[in-house]
């Protein structure tokens, strides 16, 4: 096919030989299957993410570094330059997270290059060599659900040990490759130690996994891996070899009403986003 305008510079630079087809078009990005020599890769073209609320953007970008104070002031004021700087920071966050997590052995697409707002990365494939489906498009037996859940909980731990929380992990951004689940879509990834919302985001990530796989394997609904993982992390004893039980005893104490209300807001936002995804074709 004729290369889209945003991919033409990569063709000119010799980073892409041919564009095979469009794989996905969403609100955040368009993804194309491309050929680079003997390799078949994905090219992710970022769009301006105007659908994110200001509150969500602040939560995710807290403590992220920008190049200079002028950028920081512009981002805070919401000027055009500031929005462009914020979008560039949002894109580079995914690139940085992919390289960091791939180096840590996390099951993410292997990044190849980032050029003018286009991320070149591994094409996650199924057993037939085709683009792997998302979890929400797949059907599992109870045993498969338990196995995939266990794999993904281990990947959440591996990510946290690398200092990263996904921040938006769900069945919509996990692909089912030939050898198991692969985690994608990381522009909202946060630094576990530097973001005050990291704990809440990790708990939500784990809750999404519990809810999704618990529909097929109901016993998973009785687990509490999120609080167990975070407690071990806070104590400095979490490692990729840590044996987890899925159980956690909560201490009695005052209720954080603000936190509860925030969780309700997050759940409402997530359900709205989920419905939009389904209306867009799953």
For residue 162, what are its two tokens?
């690398």
Contacts 24+ apart (CB under 8 A), 113-116: 113/15, 115/9, 115/10, 115/13, 115/15, 116/6, 116/9, 116/10
The count of other CB atoms within 10 Å of the CB of residue 7 is: 22
Q: Are 191 and 269 in contact (CB under 8 A)?
A: no
- Report the distance separating Cα 279 and Cα 61, nearest Å: 28
- Active-site amino acid positions: 168, 185
Q: Which CATH number do you get for residue 244?
A: 1.10.510.10
Q: DSSP letters of 182-217?
A: EE---TT-EETTT-TTHHHHHHHHHHHHHHHHHTTS
Per the domain annotation, does 63 fall within a domain? yes
- Report the distance separating Cα 80 and Cα 84, nearest Å: 6
Give me the domain span that covers residue 142.
50-109+132-279
Per the domain annotation, does 119 fall within a domain? no
Per the domain annotation, does 115 fall within a domain? no
Per the domain annotation, does 219 fall within a domain? yes
Per the domain annotation, does 164 fall within a domain? yes
Per the domain annotation, does 224 fall within a domain? yes
Nearest-CA neighbor of 183 among 116, 134, 233, 256? 134
Per the domain annotation, does 230 fall within a domain? yes
Per the domain annotation, does 162 fall within a domain? yes
- Tell me: the pLDDT tens digits for 158-206? 999 999 999 999 999 999 999 999 999 998 899 999 899 999 999 999 9
* Domains contained in the chain, number: 1
Residue with tokens 């921040």: 167
- Tell me: the pLDDT tens digits for 101-160? 999 999 999 999 998 889 999 999 999 989 999 999 999 999 999 999 999 999 999 999
Q: Are 159 and 83 in contact (CB under 8 A)?
A: no
- Report the distance separating Cα 207 and Cα 202, nearest Å: 8
Q: How far is CA 249 from CA 103, 177, 205, 226, 257, in A?
A: 34, 35, 20, 12, 20
- Tell me: the pLDDT tens digits for 5-64? 999 999 999 999 999 999 998 878 899 999 999 999 999 998 865 544 444 455 555 554
């Amino acid at each position: 096919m004729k290369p889209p305008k945003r991919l033409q510079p990569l063709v000119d630079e010799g980073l892409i030989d041919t564009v095979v087809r469009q794989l996905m078009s969403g609100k955040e990005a368009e993804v194309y299957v491309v050929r680079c020599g003997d390799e078949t890769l994905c090219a992710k073209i970022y769009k301006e993410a105007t659908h994110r609320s200001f509150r969500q953007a602040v939560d995710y970008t807290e403590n992220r570094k920008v190049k200079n104070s002028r950028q920081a002031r512009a981002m805070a004021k919401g000027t055009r330059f500031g929005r462009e700087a914020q979008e560039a920071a949002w894109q580079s966050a995914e690139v940085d997270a992919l390289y960091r997590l791939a180096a840590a052995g996390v099951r993410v697409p292997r990044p190849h290059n980032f050029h003018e707002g286009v991320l070149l990365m591994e094409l996650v494939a199924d057993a037939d060599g085709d683009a792997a489906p998302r979890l929400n498009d797949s059907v599992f037996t109870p045993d498969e659900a338990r196995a995939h859940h266990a794999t993904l909980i281990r990947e959440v731990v591996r990510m946290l040990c690398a200092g990263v929380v996904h921040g938006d992990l769900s069945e919509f951004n996990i692909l089912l490759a030939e050898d198991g689940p692969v985690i994608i879509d990381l522009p909202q990834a946060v630094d576990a130690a530097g973001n005050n919302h990291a704990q809440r985001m990790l708990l939500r990530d784990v809750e999404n996994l519990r809810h999704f796989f618990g529909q097929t394997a109901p016993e998973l609904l009785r687990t509490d891996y999120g609080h167990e993982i975070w407690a071990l992390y806070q104590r400095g004893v979490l490692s990729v070899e840590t044996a987890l039980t899925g159980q956690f005893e909560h201490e009695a104490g005052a209720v954080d009403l603000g936190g509860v209300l925030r969780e309700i807001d997050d759940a409402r936002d997530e359900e709205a986003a989920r419905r939009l995804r389904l209306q867009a074709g799953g």
